[in-house]
Amino acid sequence: MEEPINKFIKILVTGAKGQLGRCLQDVAIRFPNYDFHFKSSTDLDITSKAGIETLFESEKFDYCINCAAYTAVDKAETDQEKAFLVNAEAVKYLAEGCKEHKTILIHISTDFVFDGAKRTPYTEEDIPNPKNVYGASKLKGEHYVQEILEHYFIIRTSWVYSEYGHNFVKTMLRLGKERKEISVVNDQLGSPTYAGDLASVILKIVSSKKVRYGLYHYSNEGVASWYDFAKAIFDKIGNEIHITPITTLEFPTPAKRPEFSVMDKSKFKNIFKVETEEWKDSLNKVLPLIK
């Protein structure tokens, strides 16, 4: 099923200075017929209901891509109020604005809504059970979207990195310059995902004109531990740093992480006819881009 879309569609992108927001700006140049409005937190405070209402009243957006999020997983344990404000209440304000002004919301969520007890890839039908405040706040944001809107896409993704911002890849590259050996957790499994690939598939949703609204999983293909991820980074750049695999118990963090958060992407691939790249292939694309 398809719906007609104007040649020039107007797209609001929140969180424009984050990893995904910046990758969307890179991908946007391939869509000259789309009118993108990139808003960082200084341009648009999504926690301000009045600010959102004012923006939606002054501009008619066809789509809102919400990349804004509170992503400090460990800090969220002691900063619960802000995590829920940004990841849940602000999402509610955006959803209400989208509903009133007939805007389609594309909202980004996380694999951390799951507890990791499963040992086969999570589908969209699996029941979430977050183990930490960050996951709980993101799940509440999902619920607001589903309660308020009919025309929405929620995309859960995982282990996001890019050439921008702060992320695991950049941390490993920095440690590789500072140390001769490091220890990395080897008993948490997921799928590293390049934000540039995610940005491309988000705009694939828009350009497909399909109205198969709902919840979707997307990540790069394959399964890795953080140790596997680190090893692949150093192998690619030729750094012979010694990496010791350790358990989660040996590296305690304020927030508990799921031991297994690999997601089944078949629904997304079947409906939007996209190929998902292997995580190592995408990593190889990104490493030369990191200064």
Which residues are tagged catalytic? 134
Q: 234: closest CA among 162, 167, 174, 164?
A: 174
DSSP string, 116-141: S--SSPBPTTSPP--SSHHHHHHHHH
- Give the whole-angstrom CA distance, residue 156 versus residue 159: 11
Q: 23: closest CA among 181, 243, 201?
A: 201
DSSP string, 188-222: -EE--EEHHHHHHHHHHHHHHTB---EEEE---BS
Q: 206: closest CA among 17, 36, 87?
A: 36
Tell me how far the alpha carbon of residue 47 is from its chain's centroid.
19
Could you identify the residue written with the tokens 């790069």?
A: 220
Q: With the C-alpha atoms ordered 229, 281, 192, 224, is the resulting torsion angle positive or negative?
A: negative
Residue type, 225: S
- Give the whole-angstrom CA distance, residue 214 versus residue 211: 9
Q: Produce one character per residue of 236-271: b if its CB has 16 or more CB atoms within 10 Å, e if not.
A: eeeeebebebbeeeeeeeebbbbbbbbbbbebbbee
Q: Give start and end residues of each alpha helix (H) in 36-100.
A: 49-58, 80-84, 90-100
